[in-house]
Amino acid sequence: MSSRIVYRYTYMTRAVEFALETLRAASPVGSGGDKHPGLYRDSHTVFIDGHVVKDMSSWRPGQQVNISNPVPYSRKIEAGRIKLSVPNHVYETAAQLVAGQFGNSVLVKFVFMPVRFGDVAAFASFSTALKSGRRISDKARQDWLARQPALQITAR
């Protein structure tokens, strides 16, 4: 009786590395007068099943990977509400590039995910930003304000 070994190689780690490289390359850095030049570029964060990780070593098949940015102005950069010398829609464009490169191995979606730590959490807790005429509870407002652009990456 013969047996065979089947190994399914996933490109998940490489896809996430490529996504981070793509996001960093497309990120605005700031000008000489900026207090924190490069903060947005350097703040792209990897999550596995909602938990922040430093690398992909703990990823296992079936787990979902997200990449998002905890700086409060990340949504404004994505939507183009800040005048920049670089194109907006950083995450949306990166999703297309990653899908084009690794689309046979991973499923990549542009989404908005809640980021509940760092400056985003502080911004969401005290900000009164809301379109005029909208009435929602404080919790719903904080949930809405904590949603940041993200890439959702799952292995196929």
How do strand 65-68 and strand 147-155 relate by DSSP bridges? antiparallel
Q: Please, what sign has the CA dihedral across residues 23, 28, 30, 36?
A: negative
Check pLDDT > 90 for residue 142.
no
- Give the range with max mean pLDDT: 10-14, 94-98, 144-148: 94-98
The pLDDT-based confidence of 124 (bands split at 50, 70, 90) is very low
Domain presence at residue 78: yes
Domain presence at residue 133: no
Domain presence at residue 129: no
Check pLDDT > 70 for residue 84.
no
Q: Which domain holds residue 19?
A: 12-115+147-155
The two tokens of residue 53 are 């990780």
One-letter identity of residue 5: I
Domain presence at residue 45: yes
Domain presence at residue 96: yes
Domain presence at residue 110: yes
What is the helix (H) or strand (E) element at residue 145, kind and residue range? helix 138-146
- The 3 state secondary structure assigned to 38-104 is CHHHHCCEEEECCEEECCCCCCCCCCCEEEECCCCCHHHHHHCCCCCCCCCCHHHHHHHHHHHHHCC
The two tokens of residue 28 are 């605005």
Residues 6 or more apart whose Cβ sits within 8 Å of residue 130: 136, 141
- Please tell me the total count of domains within the chain: 1
Domain presence at residue 139: no
The pLDDT-based confidence of 17 (bands split at 50, 70, 90) is very high
Mean pLDDT, all residues of the chain: 81
Domain presence at residue 141: no
